[in-house]
Amino acid sequence: MTLHPSDERGKVPSRERETSQGSEVEVSIILAELSRNDSILQSYRDQFLVAETFTAAIAASALLTAPNIAIFVALLGIPMLLGWIVVVWQQAKAYDYWSNRLAKLEYFREYFQIFGKKGYSWARIWLGGGPGKLTVGILQWVFTLFWLVVIVNALIMR
């Protein structure tokens, strides 16, 4: 058996495999960040939805018996709703950043061409967090209308 010296003597082979337009390490970092940001986004949506629903239930039950409490709870629910919109929108921007980075890699281009680049899911439509008109979701509009109805009815019943 004869060993032949390599033509490229000074080069040390890299431990990273190259995928199309990115190293394995780069792809794994992007996928990890995308997954982490998606998880955080879903957690924020869940937490705000539960908090808003719980607050709305208290306001609705207090509306007939104690309108002043219903107004107080509504004044607590409205800033919480605004927080929901802003926090989810900001976290969705972070998710979109990593999604865009992933979509730029050749290896994932076909996937994003088939399934869509931005990930406009039903969660964005119902719970908000998308760009443009999707910034505020359907349920957020429902809670906005609910808080207006609670305040108006509580003021009428006082």
> Over the stretch 8-65, which tens digit does the pLDDT of each residue have?
444 444 444 444 456 788 888 999 999 999 999 999 999 999 999 999 999 999 999 9
Q: CA-based Rg of the chain, rounded to a whole angstrom?
A: 25
- Would you place residue 123 in the very low, low, confident or very high pLDDT band (cuts 50, 70, 90)? confident
**Alpha carbons 58 and 54: distance in angstroms, whole number:** 6
End-to-end Cα spacing for the chain? 99
The pair of three-digit structure tokens given for residue 9, joined into one six-digit string? 């003597």
Top pLDDT among 7 and 137 is at 137
- The answer to whether 95 and 108 are in contact (CB under 8 A) is no
What integer is the mean pLDDT of 129-147?
89
Q: For residue 135, give the DSSP letter.
A: G
Mean pLDDT for the chain? 83
**Domain residue limits, the chain:** 22-157
- Would you place residue 87 in the very low, low, confident or very high pLDDT band (cuts 50, 70, 90)? very high
pLDDT computed for residue 104 by the predictor: 85
- The answer to whether 154 and 68 are in contact (CB under 8 A) is yes
Q: What are phi and psi of 16, to 5 degrees?
A: -85, 130
Sign of CA dihedral 108, 112, 118, 123: negative
